[in-house]
Amino acid sequence: MSRARPLLIALVWFAASLPASAQDTSGLKKAMIGQWELATTERSKTCVVTLKPDTTPRGMKLDLEPSCAAALPFTKDIAGWNVKGLDIVRLQDANGEAVLDFTEVEAGIFEGLRQGEGVYILQNLAAARSLAKSMDQMIGDWAMVRGNGAVVCSLVLTNNDAGNDNFEVFVKPKCDPTVAAFAPTQWRLEHGQMMLMSARGETWRFEADDNAQWRLVPDSANPLIMLRQ
């Protein structure tokens, strides 16, 4: 056996014996540095949180924008932040106790639950504002047309909260029987798709094409297209 082998084994054993936090949390901590939006799921109440790299005896520093306490009263208790375990981002009080623990549910999107209050979202501020802008651009009157341009339905996408990150849809009279049978009542944007959902739980997904139109997927020989009015 070469002299290098025992040394290699010793190094592997030493790395394995380190606390998981020492091995794995540095990357998450680095990724979290910056500005984040803390919000209710429907974004009716929001707060900008700036996570800083500066360390304190009980965690790391952060700044809350002045309006946070009015929008989300529990934020008055937040004094710092930290990473716990392998993947929990903690907003904590001055004693290091959790005010709200978050886990990542999608790339760059974290969810945390406060008992008796509900779920809160922590999302990169730029991404959150981009989503809000996209949502604002979607609100209003739409026509649903076939590939030949024939209008088969008119509907209104609103910003009225319908729960679970969804918003209300109002369908105007005299729709094509296929659309009338589907009867969408809610909508949302998800991963770049426009989703229309019926009260029965059915979902139609539309993707934007190069002509700024939204086409039902999967595509067909007689496509269904959403157009802004």
* Cβ atoms of 51 and 174 closer than 8 Å: no
Same fold, 19-131 and 139-228: yes
Q: What is the mean pLDDT of residues 196-200?
A: 94
Question: Whole-number mean pLDDT of the chain?
Answer: 85
Q: What is the mean pLDDT of residues 28-57?
A: 90
Is the model's pLDDT at 20 over the cut of 80? no
Q: CA–CA distance from 38 to each of 3, 49, 97, 166, 168 (Å)?
A: 54, 7, 18, 18, 23
Q: pLDDT tens digits, residue range 155-175?
A: 999 989 888 878 999 999 999
Other Cβ atoms less than 10 A from the Cβ of 177: the count is 8
Lowest-confidence region among 8-17, 135-144, 175-184 = 8-17
CB contact set of 209 (below 8 Å; sequence gap of 6+)? 215
Q: What is the mean pLDDT of residues 128-142?
A: 82
CATH class (in words) of the domain with range 139-228? mainly beta
CB contact set of 217 (below 8 Å; sequence gap of 6+)? 193, 205, 206, 207
Rounded to 10 degrees, what is the CA torsion of 33, 35, 40, 44?
180
Segments making up each domain of the chain, as ranges? 19-131, 139-228
The fold of 19-131 is Lipocalin (2.40.128)
Of the candidates 66, 72, 101, 67, which has an alpha carbon nearest to the alpha carbon of residue 86? Answer: 101
Is the model's pLDDT at 13 over the cut of 90? no
